[in-house]
Amino acid sequence: MSNSELLEALNILEQEKNISKETLLEAIENSLVTACKNHFGKSENVRVTIDPETCEYHVYQEKVVVEQVEDAVEQISLTNAKMIDSKYELGDTVNIEVQSKEFGRIATQNAKNVILQKIREEERKVLFDQYYSKEKDVVTGVVQRYIGRSVSINLGKVDAILTENEQVRGEVFQPTERIKLYILEVKSTSKGPKILVSRTHPELVKRLFESEVTEVKEGIVEIKAIAREAGSRTKIAVWSNDPDVDPVGACVGMNGARVNAIVNELRGEKIDIITWNENPAMLIENALSPAKVISVIADAEEKVAKVVVPDYQLSLAIGKEGQNARLAARLTGFKIDIKSETQARESGDFLDYENEYEDEEYYDEYGDEEYADGEYGEEYADDGEYAEEGAYGESEDE
């Protein structure tokens, strides 16, 4: 291969594999040193020079001028040195150029292997760096195939693994289907980067809102907290740093376009968007949406709260199998004890508040001008058995 052909090959590798030419030249240099070692038995006195502009290279052996040669690899006689240049004296160092064509077949093959190994290492490093920078972010992948109960997902230049634990229960994927994934971890292995992804992580919802809602991406609207039961329901608390921007309305979008795009990506998972409030009682009241609340008494130090709701709202406040109360507890960080108005009066925990509530079903409405805190996605259906009222803490096992 001529120098021009080598230069062209390095430029192609740099463009296609994203491996710097300097790294490849270093690999060639190391391969030539390795070839010298295999050919001469040692390489401590070998020096390689490569011009990065032309790829012209030279290999030199540095030999010491001696009276009597004992090691032909590292020494040269005074007579032979004088034949090269008459100025050389005993103890001087002479650079003797080595022609690479003198290397044997085995030495040449070993040099080639060194270059190929370096290219493979750099490819793995480039891929690792590329995806490591996307750790804790959302990417789009193409479903490849099921491997046992895990799913192989192609992310472009590398495959990721969606394990059973990180899959939403009930989700089934078809080959070539495109899905959004949250990158949990990127590990460097001898076979390249190993990428673990998730469809259940709460941060997936946050990143999806960042991609859909400009105000969230720009930091005008903050997502203060997220509580998620993947595949079923998510509650997020949002806050606006601009008094002229409605945080809930921004996340919902015109006619619900923004939130519905996320709901569709999550395959119908319900999303409750509520307004964050520094006052724990107000935050808990918002978090229990879509249920109405009569009163909240919150102990900020003990992180416990007592909530009273109208009798007809008790099952809605608790939610199917306790889900609404459980998610509200996770979202706020409070252990929440929910009682109906009648139960509270009977136990003496409730003072007579002069609040009137219309006895009608509660629906959130969102349109072009008005937005309500609450559920977006499927309409809440009060069609199942509900857990008994009581305390719902932050435990994931409840």
Q: Quick one: pLDDT at residue 166?
A: 95
Arithmetic mean of pLDDT, 15-35: 77
CA–CA dist 321, 339 (Å, integer):
16
pLDDT at site 113: 78
Beta-ladder partners of 305: 298, 336
Per-residue confidence (pLDDT) for residue 329, from 0 to 100: 94
Over range 261-284, report the average pLDDT. 94
Tell which wins on pLDDT, 123 or 5.
123
Amino acid letter, residue 249: G
pLDDT at residue 157, rounded to an integer: 85
pLDDT-above-90 percentage for the chain: 48
Contact between 223 and 238 under an 8 Å Cβ cutoff? The reply is yes
What is the chain's mean pLDDT, rounded? 81
Which residues, listed in sequence order, are joined to residue 306 by a DSSP beta bridge? 297, 337
The tens digit of pLDDT for each residue in 286-312 reads 999 999 999 999 999 999 999 999 999
* pLDDT for the residue 103: 64
| DSSP reduced 3-state for 259 | helix
Contact 238, 251 (CB under 8 A): yes
Residues 6+ apart with CB under 8 A from 150: 161, 162, 163, 164
Number of C-alpha atoms within 13 angstroms, CB side, residue 122?
A: 20
- The whole-number pLDDT of residue 3 equals 58
Each residue of 90-125: pLDDT tens digit?
A: 888 888 877 766 666 666 677 677 778 878 888 888
Q: Which of 53-57, 82-86, 366-370 is most confident?
A: 82-86
Q: Go through the domains of the chain in sequence order and give each one's CATH number.
A: 3-131 (3.30.1480.10), 134-198 (2.40.50.140), 202-392 (3.30.300.20)
Whole-number pLDDT of residue 107? 62
Confidence of residue 371 (pLDDT cuts 50, 70, 90): very low
Supply the pLDDT for residue 249.
94
Tokens 């709460």 — which residue? 202
Read off the pLDDT band of 368 (50, 70, 90): very low
Q: Which of 12-16, 19-23, 27-31, 237-241 has the lowest mean pLDDT?
A: 12-16
Give the pLDDT of residue 11. 77
Query: How much is the pLDDT for 353?
Result: 45
Tell me the mean pLDDT in the region 75-97: 83
Half-sphere exposure of 392 (CA within 13 A, CB side): 25
Average pLDDT over residues 132-153: 93
| d(C-alpha 152, C-alpha 194), whole Å | 11
- What is the C-alpha separation between 160 and 192, in angstroms, rounded? 11
pTM over 0.95: no
Q: What is the pLDDT of residues 240-256, one digit of tens each?
A: 999 999 999 999 999 99
Most confident of 4-18, 39-53, 112-126, 161-175: 161-175
Strands 221-229 and 233-240: antiparallel
Instruction: Tell me: pLDDT of 162 over 70.
Output: yes
What lies within 8 Å, CB to CB, of 96 at 6+ separation is 60, 61, 62, 63, 76
